[in-house]
Amino acid sequence: MSTGGTFPEQTHVTRLYDRLDELRAQARTRLDAVLATTGLGHQGLMERDVTAAELSRRAALLDSVENGLCFGRLDMLAPGPDSGPDSGPDSGAESARWIGRIGMLDGAGDFEPLLIDWRAPAARPFYVATAREPEGVRRRRHIRTSGRRVTGVLDEDFDGAAEPFGDAALLAAVTEARTGRMNDIVATVQAEQDAVIRAGHRGILVVQGGPGTGKTAVALHRAAYLLYTRRERLARSAVLVVGPNPTFLRYIGEVLPSLGETGVLLATVDQLYPGVTADVAEPPGTAEVKGRLAMAEVIAAAVRERQRVPAEPWPVAHDGESITLDPDVMARARALAREAGLPHNQARSVFRARALDGLAGRAAARFGADVLDGGSLLTDLDLATIRDELAAEPAVLAALDELWPALTPQRLLADLWSSPGRLAAAAPGLTEEERALLLRPGGHRGWSAADIPLLDEAAELLGVDEDARRGAEEAAAAERAEALALAQEALDIAYGSRTSDVDAEDEEAETLGVFDLVDAERLAERHAAVDHRTAVERAAADRTWAFGHVVVDEAQELSPMAWRVLMRRCPARSMTVVGDIAQTGERGGAASWERVLAPHVGSRWVTAELTVNYRLPAEIAAVADGVLRHIDPGRRAPRAVRASSVAPWHAAVAPGELARAAARLAGEERALVPGGTVAVLAPEPLAAAVSRWAPDGVEVLDPRRAKGLEFDAVVVADPAGIVAGSPRGLNDLYVCLTRPTRRLGVLHTGALPEALNGTGLVPREV
Ligand SMILES: Nc1ncnc2c1ncn2[C@@H]1O[C@H](COP(=O)(O)OP(=O)(O)OP(=O)(O)O)[C@@H](O)[C@H]1O
C-alpha cells in the first residue's frame, strides 16, 4: 500500500464529504422546518411526526457513515460515454466508480453518481473481479482514510501490466489489533463471502463455516444487503438478528449502524418473550430436556390437563338449591369446545356456553318431564330462561371456570414445574429422572433461558385471555372517556374565559377561539398517544411480531424448542442461518442442519460454505485442526489466510497454581499485544478463580461465553478440564483455541490432552 503525501483521490474524497455535509444540512433544515409546523389537524400532526421521525433517521444515517465513507474505486475497461479526454486512471474522471457505504448523487445539475453504495450491482465487481475474470475492471483501488484524509491506496491492475497485489488489503485488515467490538468488513469482503451476502435465495440459507471464516460478518452484511434491496418490505417488518448471549450481541452491535442500518433487532432467543426476563440459572441437563422437541407435546398435554371433567357428579349451590354438574354433560361440553379448534383461553367461552346448554337441558328434563309420556312440558322459552338463570349464577360460573380456567403461560408452566402429579400426567414419555430435572420443589423462583421457548409454546396454545382482553379494552375506553371529559372541561374553561371583546360582538368577535376549531373529541384524540415507535421498537415489544427476515448466528447452539420460537417469528421462512456444527457446545444443540431444519421446512433450504479462515494465523490454526480431527475426522478445516511466525505455546503448572499463573501469563500477553485485547478462557469454577487475579484489561470467560468472540491473545487454562466439563467438551476446547487473532498459550496441569499432542504447541517454562 502506498502511504504518505497527498493522494489524487483526496480531491474526490473531499468532494464526497462536502456532499455529505450538504445532505446533512438539508436533512436538519427540513427536520427543523417540519418540527416548527403548527396549526395542523390531528391527521396532520400524525403525518408531521412520521416525517420528523423519518428525517431524524436520515440525519442519523448520514452521521453513521462518516468513518470510511469511501473505500474503493473501480476503473472500468470501457470508459462510459461521458468520460472526457483526460479520464486517465488518476484523474478521477467519470469512468471511475467510487465505492462507499452509501450512494450519493451530485447535487448540482446532472445528478451524476458521486458514490456508489457497496450493495448496488454496479459495486459488485469491486468484490468479485479477479485477474482471470476482471468483470470489466481495469484497476481496483482500495482507499484507506483516517477521518476525512486519504492515508493510503492499494491497487490491483487487471490489464496484465502489473501483478495484482491480491490479498494485501485483506491482510492489512485482518492483522489489525482488535478493539473488542466487531468492525464491518465492507471494504474487504471476499468473493465467496460476497456470494453469500448477495444470495438471491428467498427461503432458508444455511451458511456453514469453520471458526473465523467470517460467518458473523457475512450474516450482518447480508442483513444490510437485504435491507437495501428489499427496503420497502423489510423497513415495515424489520429484521431480527439472533445471537447466543448478550456479550456477543454487544460485540457485534456496532456493525449494522456503521453500515447505516438501524432497522434490525438484535436479541437472544430468551429476549423474545416481552415482559419476561430469563434470570435463573439451571443445570445443563435440565436445559437439555426442556429444549427437546418432545416438550411441545408436553406443553400441549399440560394445557389439555387443565380442561377438566369432574370425576363424580358435582353439586353446586344454585338459588338456594343445588345444581349438579354431571360428568357426562361436562365431558360433552369439553369435547365441543376442543372441537372448535381455538386456543384454550378463547375456547373457554365455547365451553361455558355448551356447558350451560347442557345443564339447562338437564334441569329442564328433571323439572319439566311429562309424567305421562316422559316428554318435556317446557317450551324453548322456558329452557332459555333456565339457561339465563344458570348463566347469572356466580357459583355455577365459578365451577365452570375451575373446570376450564383462564390461564397465562406463566401460570401453566409454574404449576407444571411445581407439581409431580401434573408433570407425570403431561410428560409420560419422560423418564422419572428426566421429570425430576424439571421439578422445582421449592416453588416458582423465576424463569430460565430454556423456559422461554416453553412459555412461547404455551402462549400459542393458550391464546389471549378474552376476559383480560375485554378488561383492557374497557380500561382503555374508560381512559378515553376521562380524556374526553378533561378536554370538554378545557374547552369550557376556554369558552368561559374568552375575551369580553368577543362577547361585545365587535370586529374582534371574528377571532377564532379554540372552541371554534375543535370539539372535545378531536381535542382528546390529539392528546391520545400516537405510536411513534419504529418497526424495531414495536417488534421488540410484540411476541407475535412477524419479522421479514431472521438471521440466526451461532445457530448450532439452539435447541429444537428455540427453533420453534424462531420459525413462529418468521412465517415467511426467510432466514439466514450461520453456524458451525463442530462448535456445538450446548447439549441440546445441533448435530446436523438436516435434523434442525427438516421438521420445519423439509428439504426446502440451501447451504453455502465458507472455507477461508480470516481470524487465526496458520500456526494457531494447526493446533485447532488437531482437535477438529478428534471431533470429526471427516470435517475439512478452513484454510488460514495468513501466517504470523509466532508459535503458540503450552506450559504445565501445579494444579494449585493454575488460576494465579493464568492471570499472570495473561498480563504478560497483554504487554505483547499493545492496544489489543486479551482473554483467559477456562472452565468454571476455574474461570471465577482466575477473575480474582486477572489484571485490568484481561477478560476471563468460560467456553460458552467465549462463543463468537475474538481476542488478540488468548490463554486457554486447563484444557483437560474443558474437555471433561461437558459431553461436548472437545467442541468447547475447539471454540477456545479458535478465538485468538495473534497469540495463543495453553496452560495445563499434568499431561496435555491427547487431542493437542503433535499440533505444534511449543513447550515453555513459566
Ligand atoms: N473479508 C474480510 N475482511 C476483513 N476481515 C474479515 C473478513 N472476513 C472475516 N473477517 C474478520 O475475521 C474475523 C472472524 O470473522 P467472524 O467472527 O465473522 O467469523 P465466524 O465465522 O463467525 O467465526 P466463529 O465461528 O468463530 O464465530 C473477524 O475479525 C472478521 O472481521
Residues 6 or more apart in contact with residue 316 via CB below 8 angstroms: 322, 323, 324, 325, 395, 396, 399
Whether residue 203 is annotated as binding a ligand: the answer is no
d(CA 177, CA 364): 85
pLDDT at 84: 42
Confidence band for 162, pLDDT divided at 50, 70 and 90: low
Pocket probe for ligand 1: among 175, 185, 196, the residue whose CB has the most ligand atoms within 8 Å is 185
d(CA 714, CA 737): 8
Confidence band for 21, pLDDT divided at 50, 70 and 90: very high
Bridge partners of 2? 153
Instruction: Please determine, for residue 285, whether its predicted confidence score (pLDDT) is greater than 70.
Output: yes
pLDDT at 374: 58
pLDDT at 561: 97
Ligand 1 centre distance from Cα of residue 116 (Å)? 24
pLDDT at 89: 45
- The overall average pLDDT reported for the chain is 87
Query: Which residue spans within 78-148 are E strands per DSSP?
Result: 96-100, 104-105, 113-117, 137-146
Whether residue 214 is annotated as binding a ligand: the answer is yes
CA dist list (Å): 101 to 1, 74, 117, 125, 184: 21, 15, 6, 15, 11
C-alpha cell at 130: 479477479
Cβ-contact 724, 610 below 8 angstroms: no
Instruction: Please determine, for residue 373, whether its predicted confidence score (pLDDT) is greater than 80.
Output: no
Mean pLDDT, residues 160-172? 67
Residues in the chain: 766
Whether residue 211 is annotated as binding a ligand: the answer is yes
Instruction: Please determine, for residue 717, whether its predicted confidence score (pLDDT) is greater than 70.
Output: yes
Whether residue 210 is annotated as binding a ligand: the answer is yes
d(CA 766, CA 763): 10
Tell me whether the CATH fold assigned to 193-272+543-610 matches the one assigned to 614-763.
Answer: yes
> What confidence tens digit (pLDDT) does each residue in 449-485 have?
999 999 999 999 999 876 666 776 777 777 767 766 7
d(CA 66, CA 17): 8
Domain ranges in the chain are 2-166, 193-272+543-610, 290-448, 466-535, 614-763
Closest CA to 710 of 178, 39, 25: 178
> What confidence tens digit (pLDDT) does each residue in 552-580 have?
999 999 999 999 999 999 999 999 999 99
Phi-psi domain of 559 (left: phi exceeds 0; alpha: psi -120 through 50; beta: other): beta
Ligand 1 atom at minimal distance to the Cα of residue 583: 25
d(CA 393, CA 235): 52
Ligand 1 atom at minimal distance to the Cα of residue 707: 27
Whether residue 429 is annotated as binding a ligand: the answer is no
Whether residue 213 is annotated as binding a ligand: the answer is yes
Domain 193-272+543-610: which CATH class?
alpha beta
Q: Coil, helix or strand for 316?
A: strand
Ligand 1 atom at minimal distance to the Cα of residue 189: 1
Closest CA to 422 of 403, 443, 439: 439
* % of the chain exceeding 90 in pLDDT: 66
Residue-by-residue DSSP string for 369-390: B-TTTS-B---HHHHHHHHHHH
What is the Cα Rg of the chain in Å? 34
Confidence band for 78, pLDDT divided at 50, 70 and 90: low
Q: Whose CA is nearest to atom 8 of ligand 1?
A: 214
CA 306 to chain centre: 33
Ligand 1 centre distance from Cα of residue 417 (Å)? 42
Q: Which residues line ligand 1 (CB under 6 A)?
A: 170, 173-174, 183, 185, 188-190, 193, 209, 211-217, 580, 583, 614-615, 708, 710, 738
Ligand 1 centre distance from Cα of residue 129 (Å)? 21
Ligand 1 atom at minimal distance to the Cα of residue 735: 26
C-alpha cell at 390: 344458570
Pocket probe for ligand 1: among 142, 170, 213, 635, the residue whose CB has the most ligand atoms within 8 Å is 213
CA 137 to chain centre: 38
Ligand 1 centre distance from Cα of residue 217 (Å)? 6
Instruction: Please determine, for residue 443, whether its predicted confidence score (pLDDT) is greater than 90.
Output: no
Burial code (b: 16+ CB inside 10 Å, e: under 16) for 617-628 equals: bbbbbbbbbbbb
Cβ-contact 436, 386 below 8 angstroms: no
Ligand 1 atom at minimal distance to the Cα of residue 190: 1
CATH 3.40.50.300 fits 614-763, yes or no: yes
User: By mean pLDDT, which of 111-115, 608-612, 663-667 is the weakest?
Assistant: 111-115
Instruction: Please determine, for residue 161, whether its predicted confidence score (pLDDT) is greater than 90.
Output: no
Closest CA to 70 of 220, 227, 157, 187: 187
Confidence band for 40, pLDDT divided at 50, 70 and 90: confident
Ligand 1 centre distance from Cα of residue 577 (Å)? 16
